[in-house]
Amino acid sequence: MKIVVLKFGGTSVGTIDKIKKVGDIIKTYVRKNYKVIVVSSAMRGVTNDLVKKSNQISQNFSEEEYDVLVSSGEQVACSLIAGRLINNGIKSRSWLAWQIPILTIGHHKNSRINLIKKNAILKYLKNGGVPVIAGFQGINDKERITTIGRGGSDATAIILAKFFKAQRCVIYTDVEGVYTTDPNKLKKAKKIKVISYEEMLEMASLGAKVMQPVSIQDARLNRINIEVKSSFVNKSGTLITKRSNILSNKIVTGITSTHNDAKVTLIGVKDKPGVAASIFKPLSRNSINVDMVVQNISSNGKETDLTFTIKNEDLNKTKKIIKENKSINFRKLLFNKGVSKISIIGVGMITTPGVTFRMFQSLAKKRINIQVISTSEIKISVLIDKKNTKKALNALHKEFKLDS
C-alpha cells in the first residue's frame, strides 16, 4: 500500500472553516490513490484551557487525571475532521489511542510510544477508509490514558509513519516550512528547502517552534523523512532528511533566538571537587533544565564564579533551591532575566574554519557584548542582552549570507 501520514497542528484545525480546509487537503491525497492516515492535535487554545482548569481545581493536580483531561482535546478535533470527510463522501472514522491501541512506556505527562497494534488500522485502510487518529496520547500497561509531552502529536505521526512504513509523513502547520530564522523577528528570513535531522534538532532545541525536538529525534533514529508545509497555502515546504541527501554550499543553515532564558551567577563559590555537582544535582531532581554553563576560577585557586542559564519559569524555584542548599558556600547570588540566547546552526561548520571568529566579529561590530558561550559540532550559541536580539539576528543573517 502507498501510505501517507498527514498531521495537522492546532492552528490548522483552530476553527470550523479551517477544519473544512483540512478536509479538502486530505481529499487531494485520496484522489492521488494514497492510503491516508490522519493525525490531529487539539484545536488551538483548547489544551491550554484544559491545563488552566486543572490548575484551578488543584495546584497539585493528579498526573493520571491530567492526561485524561488534556487528551480530550484531540478527541474533539478528530471527530470533527472525520465528520467533514464523511460529508465529502470519504469513508472515515476517528480513533483514540486505546482503540488501536497505541502503547506507551514511561511516566504520565511525558510517555513515549513503544508499540502500535496495526491490524485494525490496516484492515480499515484496505477497505478504503481514512482513519483520523488522536495525536499526543497512548495507553500504558495499566490501560490508563497517557500523554507524550506538549507538541507530541508530531511524535505520534512520525511513529505511525515508522510502524506503517509510510512513503511520506507530512506535518501541516501555520507556516510554509522551516525558515533561516523566525520570520516574525526578521523579514529577510528565507524558507529552507531541505534541512538535516541534526540541524533541525538543534534549531528546535534552541528556540525554533516548528516542531518538538523529541519528534525530530524520533524521525532521525527511524530515518523518517518529514515534510513541513502550510495548511493555508498550496506551496512546497521544507524537507527534513538525512545529511547525505543534502547538497548545500551554506556554512550556516539557520539562526535561532530565545526570549525566555534567565542567567544565574554564583559569586565566590568555595572551589572543591564536586562543587558543581552539588549545585546542579538538586536542580536536576526538580526537573530544572540547565543549559549554558561557564566557570571562572579565581587567581588564588580557592574560589570560582559559576554562571548558567535556565528557563524564566524555573527562576523562583531555582532561587529557593540554591538558597536552601547547605552543601555549597558562596558570597553572592545574581539573576538576570533580560537575556537572549542567539545560536547559529549548520553542518557546514564542521569543515569550515573561522566560523566562530566571524560570528564574534559580526556581533562586536554592532557593539553587542557576549556574556556566555556554548558550542557543539554544528552549533555556536552566545548569551546576549535581550534588547540586542533583533540587531544580532540581522547582523548574523547578513554575515552568513542567509539573506540571499
Average pLDDT over residues 127-145: 97
Q: What is the dihedral of CA 21, 24, 25, 29, to 10 degrees?
A: 170
Identity of the highest mean pLDDT range in 14-28, 189-203, 217-231, 256-270 = 14-28
3-class SS at 67? Answer: helix
- pLDDT per residue over 40-81, tens digit each? 999 999 999 999 999 999 989 999 999 999 999 999 999 999
pLDDT at 287: 84
pLDDT at 295: 86
DSSP 342-353: EEEE-GGGGG-T
- pLDDT per residue over 266-287, tens digit each? 999 887 888 889 999 999 998 8
Which pLDDT band, with edges at 50, 70 and 90, does 237 fall under?
A: very high
* CATH class belonging to 3-174: alpha beta
pLDDT at 299: 65
Name the pairing type of β-strands 92-95 and 35-40: unpaired
The helix/strand count (H/E) of the chain reads as 12, 19
389-399 helix and 355-365 helix, angle to the nearest 10 degrees: 130
Q: What is the mean pLDDT of the chain?
A: 92
Q: Torsions phi, psi of 226, nearest 5?
A: -120, 135
Q: For residue 389, is pLDDT > 70?
A: yes
CA distance 30 to 15: 23
CA distance 256 to 203: 6
Domain ranges of the chain: 3-174
Peptide bond into 353 cis (omega under 30): no
Q: For residue 249, is pLDDT > 80?
A: no
**121, 131 Cβ separation under 8 angstroms:** yes
- pLDDT per residue over 91-120, tens digit each? 999 999 999 999 999 999 989 999 999 999
Q: Where are the alpha helices (DSSP H) in 206-274?
A: 213-222
Q: For residue 301, is pLDDT > 80?
A: no
Average pLDDT over residues 389-400: 95
Q: For residue 303, is pLDDT > 90?
A: no
pLDDT at 77: 98
pLDDT at 190: 92
Q: For residue 245, is pLDDT > 90?
A: no
- pLDDT per residue over 199-215, tens digit each? 998 888 776 777 878 88
**134, 95 Cβ separation under 8 angstroms:** yes
Q: For residue 344, is pLDDT > 70?
A: yes
